[in-house]
Structure 1
Amino acid sequence: MADITSATSAPNAGLSFLGQYSGITTDVVDQLIEAESGGKTLLQNKVTKYNQEKSAWSEISSALSNFQTKLKALQNNDSYYSKIAKSSNEDLATISGNSDAKNGGDFELLVSQLAKQTKLTGSQVSAAETNSTDLNLNGKLTFAYQGEKTDDSPETVDIDITEKDSLLDIADKINKESKNIGVSAVVINKRLVLTNNKSGAKETTLDQTKNTATLAALGLNTSADLGQAAKYSLDGIDMESDSNVISDAIDGATVTLKKEIKPEDAVTLSLKNDDSKTVKAATDFVTQYNNLMSLIKSNLDVGNPSASTAESSSTNVQGKLVGDSTLQRLQSSLRNMITQADKDNGASLSPFDMGFSVDKDGVLSLDEDKFKSQLADSPEKVHDFFYVQGEDSFDESTDTGYTAKLNNLVNEFISNDATKKGIITNKSDSIDKMVKDLNSQIDDFTARLADKREQYIAQFTQLDSIMMQADSQMQYMQSQLGVDQQ
């Protein structure tokens, strides 16, 4: 009888032997495994769907974050009270304004006298061959204390001078104490020159009644050239200032005097509200709102159900979050809030008054002329319509205004605070957990299919072996019968 054990003796011999008698090859085994893989495919489709949902929520979170940035811009004072400051001649004087400045219009400026600092110019020091020569002088200079006043503040500050000090060394020592003594020093042609840090008709802080020998040796026993205040007029109102940089003449504005200005050279200073920043903040808000709502709509789109009928060759394409009640609630809340003022802050204006309107398709638009008219009438009212800060500056939920209620809604969805996670963060965490569980099930299913495939190969290989033995025995019997017949 023929030896059949050699068919399965080599590694992987079962695979090469499979199907030689039964006709059941590895292709047939693969088809059987594929038929049993339906459950795995369903699990994989669920993973794909969840990942698509997570991606969609991530896009919505980014859009909400961008929308919140535009809301914050409408809450910022700089968007309402920025100023356009102009001078008819910036070589003579300039003007600038901060968010506290009022819309003051034009001012006529004349300057009869610029402010200057008190200056004490010492006589030339004979002991100094150069500015850096050691003076062989021991002594001190006493200055009145000009620093920050506290209970421990000294009345005076002494500058000690040693024999190794040169004029430059002494100037350095004075300058190191400049903030405390109100004086700065330079050396010019072997002379010490002391200048008050602040302008105005103020005496030098150097005490010339003490250390007279040291003062004489350094040439500082001379009289100081007394400083003076600036004298100017705004719209005919005469004023004085110890500084040429004047911040107390016009609320929220700073005027810098550069030269004397005669009546025939009168400078016109203007300070007006910069409405362009406010209008841009409002139009950016409208654009981002529409982008957000368009994204939400596309994710909730049911598509065209008739596209998937038996008569149609196309497939219906739906949004990634179609039917999601959470996203539908966000869409509905935004639609309602965008057309309503916040009644809690007592604002006298409505979105319609501000120029906001929504068409039949839900698209928000802004009538800029109407908006600018409200700004011209009262920037304060416009600001309060959009935002009023609550009593607790660290708790945004206490804020009121049109943007505040929208901001609270956005925070409800995208907040990532450790104590209170937003809806999207929680959804993302939940999806991650479900995907992790599904992947674990897929791994188990894959392992079971691999085991099943090995079982099929073993069974069908055994079947081929049995059929081979039967065939061999048949051939043997036929050969024996043939011999007997001869």
Structure 2
Amino acid sequence: MSGLTIDGISSTLGQYSGVTAGTIEKLLTASSIYQRKTDTENEITEIENKESAWSTINSELSTFLDKVEVLQSDDTYLTKTATSSDSSVATISGTTAAAEDSYDLKVDQLATATKVTGSKLDVTGTKTALNIAGTLTLTNSDTDSQSASVTISSTDTLKSLAQKINALTNDSTDSNGNATEGTHIKASIVDNRLVLTSTTQGANTISLSGEDSSGNELADDLGLGSQATTSTGQSAIFELDGMTITRNTNTVTDAVEGVTFNLNQVSDEDVTLSLTNDTSNIVSAVQDMVSSYNTLMSTIKDDLDVGDPSSSSNTTGPLVGDSELMLLESSLSSMVTSSKVSGSSLNATDLGISFSDIKGTLSVDTDKLESAISKDATAVKNFFYSAKTTSDGNYVISTSGYTSDLSDLVNKYISTDSLLGTSIIGNIQSSYKSQVEELNDQVDTFDDQLDTLKEQYIEKYTALDEAIMEGEEELSEFTSASSSLSS
């Protein structure tokens, strides 16, 4: 038996029959197994092209959503340019509800917060146990605050006690929208002294009550009783266009609708504060959204392109005939020029948003948009986005408007992870992944079958070569014998 080459083919193969390793490869290529493998690999390539196309759409949808969400930000609609003749004394800002106007303002007194500074405690540090136990109740006379109690154990330190007090400071809202008022009292530690500060300004009073396990006042134990130093807060007093106004804050938001006055220091003279309209932010945001939409829709049209069906070499888009993509295209096209938007009497055309050609290219008439903003900036803001929140503003209960509708649609499609079926595109890509895995298993099976067929061909034609070789040897021997007999 002749030796074998590295790939398992006999070194005698083809020496007599002419059947070489190349011949066997051609025989394998011509087999139905190879053709089925090729068809399967082509199917894998087609699916991978579809998955890649959806990944691109997912990315462009995410970009479009980013542009849409800019139109949901309050910063986009702070469409007022603010100026101050002396910003060290006071500054001004305005929302869409603010009118263009100028104000003369003089600061007579700044608002401050009430502070109670305790006496120095006889401990070696903030992490030393106080050896005090009891329930301490804290009360702030701020009308929006609520009394609350902290339980003190003998192992509590200045640091842990301050943490317990601060855990009750802020207002909170649970997942059901139920609000709980905080104490509005913040604790800090300075030189082994507890310092309690009202987080709201004005002439508030901080009160402490509760006894330790021996019946002594906890306030005295903590250096916050009669030995403490109290600095009572005060209200801000300022003159606005000659009218004297008092507020328990240096950030005044309720003196003029949509206007915020920031008081920075006491002044001897009036400062002039002005607000003028500035539409640049919102116009830029709308233009960015329109541009992103056109990029997205161009990609979708290319993916759905049927090409020229009459051409023998016709090339189509990777997602031609995809019903889900056609639905997305139709929904987006209808929504961006919707004549009716939830929560608003305006429509997209009123703000200059419309198609500029029969191809569905979206455009924005900036003159028309700026005119609508000038006429009623708040109405424009509510057209694009309006949110209903809990009383403290921490939780959004519901949203409405042009961008809210677009966000809802896009969020149904986009996937942050193509391997997870958490959205329409996520589910599509997950399905593609499963299909490719199954087809790859089929390719592996075809490869095994081709390996087996190749071994059969090698064995068959190696045997043929060896048989021919043996026959020629026998013929040579016969010829030689015949020659000897003849002589």
Deviation at 1:66, TM superposition (A): 1.7
The structure that has the greater radius of gyration is 1
CA contact under 8 A between 2:235 and 2:247: conserved in structure 1?
yes
Task: Output the amino acid matched with 1:444.
Answer: T
- Taking a change above 3 Å as real, the CA distance of residues 279 and 175 of structure 1, as seen in their structure-2 partners, is farther
Once residues 245 and 328 of structure 1 are traced to their aligned partners in structure 2, the CA distance between those partners, rounded to angstroms, is 52
Q: What's the CA shift string for 1:344-396, capped at 9, x where partnerless?
A: x3522121111112022211111111111111111221122223447999999
Give the length in aligned residue pairs. 397
CA contact under 8 A between 1:64 and 1:292: conserved in structure 2?
yes
- Taking a change above 3 Å as real, the CA distance of residues 438 and 117 of structure 1, as seen in their structure-2 partners, is closer
Once residues 431 and 226 of structure 1 are traced to their aligned partners in structure 2, the CA distance between those partners, rounded to angstroms, is 69
Deviation at 1:71, TM superposition (A): 2.1
Q: 2:404 maps to which residue?
A: 404
Q: 2:260 maps to which residue?
A: 253
Q: 1:105 maps to which residue?
A: 101
Once residues 285 and 12 of structure 2 are traced to their aligned partners in structure 1, the CA distance between those partners, rounded to angstroms, is 77
CA contact under 8 A between 1:301 and 1:322: conserved in structure 2?
yes
Once residues 228 and 366 of structure 1 are traced to their aligned partners in structure 2, the CA distance between those partners, rounded to angstroms, is 51
- Taking a change above 3 Å as real, the CA distance of residues 55 and 249 of structure 1, as seen in their structure-2 partners, is same
- Taking a change above 3 Å as real, the CA distance of residues 326 and 230 of structure 1, as seen in their structure-2 partners, is closer
Deviation at 1:110, TM superposition (A): 3.5
For the pair 1:442 / 2:462, whether they are aligned, the reply is no
Pairing partner for 2:61 from 61, 64, 82: 64
Once residues 419 and 24 of structure 1 are traced to their aligned partners in structure 2, the CA distance between those partners, rounded to angstroms, is 52
Deviation at 1:198, TM superposition (A): 6.4
Q: 1:86 maps to which residue?
A: 83
Identity percentage of aligned residues: 35
Q: 1:275 maps to which residue?
A: 279
Deviation at 1:336, TM superposition (A): 1.7
For the pair 1:236 / 2:242, whether they are aligned, the reply is yes
- Taking a change above 3 Å as real, the CA distance of residues 466 and 437 of structure 1, as seen in their structure-2 partners, is same
Task: Output the amino acid matched with 1:233.
Answer: E
Q: What's the CA shift string for 1:36-89, capped at 9, x where partnerless?
A: 222111111111111111111111111112212222222333322454332012
Task: Output the amino acid matched with 1:452.
Answer: L
Q: What's the CA shift string for 1:80-136, capped at 9, x where partnerless?
A: 245433201224432345x5862352101235x4458799xxxxxxxxxxxxxxxxx
Pairing partner for 2:28 from 25, 29, 33: 33
Pairing partner for 2:195 from 163, 167, 177: 177
CA contact under 8 A between 1:83 and 1:101: conserved in structure 2?
no
Q: 2:304 maps to which residue?
A: 300
CA contact under 8 A between 2:250 and 2:263: conserved in structure 1?
yes
Gaps of 5+ in 2: 115-137, 151-188, 208-225
Kindly report the root-mean-square deviation, in angstroms, between the aligned alpha carbons of the 2 structures: 4.2
User: Alignment partner of 1:360: what SS?
Assistant: coil
Q: Point out the structure with the larger helix share.
A: 1
Task: Output the amino acid matched with 1:338.
Answer: V
- Taking a change above 3 Å as real, the CA distance of residues 150 and 433 of structure 1, as seen in their structure-2 partners, is closer
Q: 2:127 maps to which residue?
A: none
Q: What's the CA shift string for 1:390-429, capped at 9, x where partnerless?
A: 7999999974432233223223322679998422111111
CA contact under 8 A between 2:300 and 2:325: conserved in structure 1?
yes
Q: 2:432 maps to which residue?
A: 431
Task: Output the amino acid matched with 1:281.
Answer: A
CA contact under 8 A between 1:387 and 1:400: conserved in structure 2?
yes
Gaps of 5+ in 1: 120-143, 155-170, 183-196, 206-219, 310-314
Once residues 331 and 378 of structure 1 are traced to their aligned partners in structure 2, the CA distance between those partners, rounded to angstroms, is 32
Deviation at 1:267, TM superposition (A): 1.9
Deviation at 1:273, TM superposition (A): 5.0
Task: Output the amino acid matched with 2:427.
Answer: N
Q: 1:352 maps to which residue?
A: 349
For the pair 1:44 / 2:44, whether they are aligned, the reply is no
Once residues 373 and 79 of structure 2 are traced to their aligned partners in structure 1, the CA distance between those partners, rounded to angstroms, is 12
CA contact under 8 A between 1:85 and 1:95: conserved in structure 2?
yes
Deviation at 1:433, TM superposition (A): 1.1
- Taking a change above 3 Å as real, the CA distance of residues 75 and 198 of structure 1, as seen in their structure-2 partners, is closer
- Taking a change above 3 Å as real, the CA distance of residues 110 and 173 of structure 1, as seen in their structure-2 partners, is same
- Taking a change above 3 Å as real, the CA distance of residues 57 and 470 of structure 1, as seen in their structure-2 partners, is same
Once residues 275 and 351 of structure 1 are traced to their aligned partners in structure 2, the CA distance between those partners, rounded to angstroms, is 17
Q: 1:287 maps to which residue?
A: 291
Q: 1:475 maps to which residue?
A: 476
Matches within 5 A, 1:256-405: 256-262=263-269, 266-272=270-276, 274-305=278-309, 309=312, 316-342=314-340, 345=342, 347-358=344-355, 359-389=357-387, 399-405=399-405
CA contact under 8 A between 1:199 and 1:243: conserved in structure 2?
yes
Task: Output the amino acid matched with 1:334.
Answer: L
Once residues 433 and 299 of structure 2 are traced to their aligned partners in structure 1, the CA distance between those partners, rounded to angstroms, is 23
Once residues 371 and 18 of structure 1 are traced to their aligned partners in structure 2, the CA distance between those partners, rounded to angstroms, is 82
Task: Output the amino acid matched with 1:468.
Answer: M
- Taking a change above 3 Å as real, the CA distance of residues 152 and 35 of structure 1, as seen in their structure-2 partners, is closer
Matches within 5 A, 1:202-213: none
CA contact under 8 A between 2:201 and 2:235: conserved in structure 1?
no
Q: TM-score, normalised by structure 1?
A: 0.70
Q: What's the CA shift string for 1:6-40, capped at 9, x where partnerless?
A: x3599989621111111111111111112122211
Matches within 5 A, 1:179-218: 179=197
Q: 2:159 maps to which residue?
A: none
- Taking a change above 3 Å as real, the CA distance of residues 45 and 338 of structure 1, as seen in their structure-2 partners, is same
Q: What's the CA shift string for 1:201-259, capped at 9, x where partnerless?
A: x9999xxxxxxxxxxxxxx9xxx999987654222223345766555533451331424
User: Alignment partner of 1:23: what SS?
Assistant: coil
CA contact under 8 A between 1:386 and 1:404: conserved in structure 2?
yes
Once residues 106 and 4 of structure 2 are traced to their aligned partners in structure 1, the CA distance between those partners, rounded to angstroms, is 113
Task: Output the amino acid matched with 1:332.
Answer: S
Most deviating of 60-69 and 386-395: 386-395
- Taking a change above 3 Å as real, the CA distance of residues 174 and 373 of structure 1, as seen in their structure-2 partners, is farther
